[in-house]
Structure 1
Amino acid sequence: MSNPLPQTLVLIGAGKMGGAMLEGWLRIGMNPAGISLIDPKPSDEMVALATEKGMVLNPTPGAIAPAEVVVLATKPQMLDTAAPAVQAFIHPKTLLISILAGKTLGDLAARLPNATALIRAMPNLPASVQRGVTAAAPGPGVSAAQRATADALLGSIGKVEWLDNENLIDAVTAVSGSGPAYVFHLVECLAAAGAAAGLPHEIAERLARATIEGAGEMLFQSSLSPATLRQNVTSPGGTTAAALEVLMADDGLKPLMGRAVAAAKRRAEELSG
């Protein structure tokens, strides 16, 4: 099988998520000499990395040829102003991958008519530690080879889930896009409950944090379903079972999480409108 990594790539927007993806691409062996970075206000760390690796940073217009892949990782509201400059990096065979929240394939096609192969992707924050998950929806002009290229690039920061329907992106945003914040809040709540049960707050927070870290690692390493893992740590009539009676009650965690995800999905739909 041929190497799916592109020979040339332009990353537009080298902030936290763009920077995380860039580190992933370098880690899986992409040639830094083929990478160009466009960012009006690059961090000192990004400037140093570009210098160290020999990547082109903010080339003058026309200084580089249109790229095999262009990745859009700017703030969504910058699309309109950036579009004319982005067009210069796109030729008919360029693959455009966008991680702009709320910007549909139709939005991208309207503003970037040079692009005929478009993929809309939604990564999440753990991409910064190579444990992210990205959902991606390809447009009709994406070839099998281009999809393989996108899979390799997006897979460098974690797992990739491909969607047949772009309309599912709003639900993805509500589950995995916003999901890390839900987990962080769970740690806060578990620590607060531990403190209320009599533990010093600092110890309660360390216990809660380590518990979520460990449980997450078990999920990562195990092929068992979450339900099976839960059952495996629950002894009938024991302490965990007593707590789960509360969490799994009709007014427990499931309906609460359902309302939270529904609220996030509604907001994602509003922002996409």
Structure 2
Amino acid sequence: MDSSIVFIGGGNMATSLVSGLRSADCPGERITIVEPDADKRRQLADDHGVRTVAEADAEVLGADAVILAVKPQLLPEVCADLATRFADRRPLIISIAAGVPLAALAQWLGEDFAFVRCMPNTPSLIGAGATGLYAGTGVTADQRELADAILATAGITVWVDAESRLDAVTATSGSGPAYFFAFMEAMHAGARELGLDDDTARELVLHTALGAARMAIESGDDPATLREKVTSKGGTTAAALDRFEAGDLNALVRDAMQAAARRADTLGQELMDDTRR
């Protein structure tokens, strides 16, 4: 990868992408991280062999892609500063800020940029992420390929054809890890109630989750088929699944995901409203 890439912000998600890029043989001199915290800058430079600066400079402003990796509430100020510095250059702008619509970025930075909005999830921190991406108007095929290559270093990538569908991505993969953690938490508690000690319960639950995920990925079967394969009529698994059905698990999950999607939409609107005041 010979494109020059700048990260605005050196937090966990930016660090995971930088680590992925370096593992994919992206030269360290092609990556710059803008991070005001001096200790973080030194650590990032030492750990990843990349260039770090306290604020945007000439090299930053000449980048092919600029990744906005700061907290959403900091974006208006960050974008306003960048807007005064870019002058006539228009690099690809990739935002990984949750809930911030492209309309807000255009409002703060300028409308004549090529924007890609992304929704990565926390497993990206270990290279096992799932990221949804949406390309705004004006994004070229080469820029789309560049955005995909950067985010793919943290896991799988999927593109959606409407920005509104990123709310569905947020409700599915963005918030999704927490759903599985909550289920594992409940299983752990259930195993303890049945008499298993804490360490045994934990190991069984975590490796059962890992094994089930690997089977779903590697077998080629859909989850319904896999469920049927391990469920004998009148057996122990059927007894447990009957309880899930009695509690209408499908409806509960559907309602929870819809609540997450609605909140994602609301957060973006609230942020835009706050900046207009």
Same-fold call, TM > 0.5?
Answer: yes
Paired-residue identity, %: 39
Superposed, which structure 2 residues align to 1:20-99 within 5 Å?
20-41=16-37, 44=40, 47-51=42-46, 53-58=48-53, 61-64=56-59, 65-87=61-83, 88=85, 92-99=89-96
With the length of structure 2 as denominator, give the TM-score of the two structures. Answer: 0.89
1:84-107 deviation per Cα after TM superposition (whole angstroms, max 9, x unaligned)? 333335854411100111211111
Q: Distance in 2 between matches of 1:91 and 1:70?
A: 15
**2:51 counterpart letter in structure 1:** V
Is residue 2:188 matched to residue 1:182? no
Query: Which residue does the alignment assign to 2:113?
Result: 116
Q: Distance in 1 between matches of 2:259 and 2:2?
A: 38
* Most deviating of 51-60 and 27-36: 51-60
Cα pair 2:29 2:50 within 8 Å, conserved: yes
Question: Secondary structure of the residue that 1:10 maps to in structure 2?
Answer: strand
Give 1:50 shift: 1.3
Give 1:261 shift: 1.0
Cα pair 2:134 2:161 within 8 Å, conserved: yes
Question: Secondary structure of the residue that 1:77 maps to in structure 2?
Answer: helix
With the length of structure 1 as denominator, give the TM-score of the two structures. Answer: 0.91
Query: Which residue does the alignment assign to 1:131?
Result: 128
Structure 2 unaligned residues grouped into runs of 5+: 270-277
| C-alpha RMSD of the superposition | 2.0
Larger % of helix: which? 2
Query: Which residue does the alignment assign to 1:240?
Result: 237
**2:191 counterpart letter in structure 1:** G
* Most deviating of 262-271 and 201-210: 201-210
Identify if the C-alpha distance between structure 1 residues 53 and 265 changes in structure 2 by more than 3 Å, giving closer, same or farther. closer
Query: Which residue does the alignment assign to 1:259?
Result: 255
Of residues 253, 268, 272 in structure 1, which corresponds to 2:268?
272
**1:39 counterpart letter in structure 2:** E
Cα pair 1:92 1:115 within 8 Å, conserved: no
Structure 1 unaligned residues grouped into runs of 5+: none
**2:172 counterpart letter in structure 1:** V
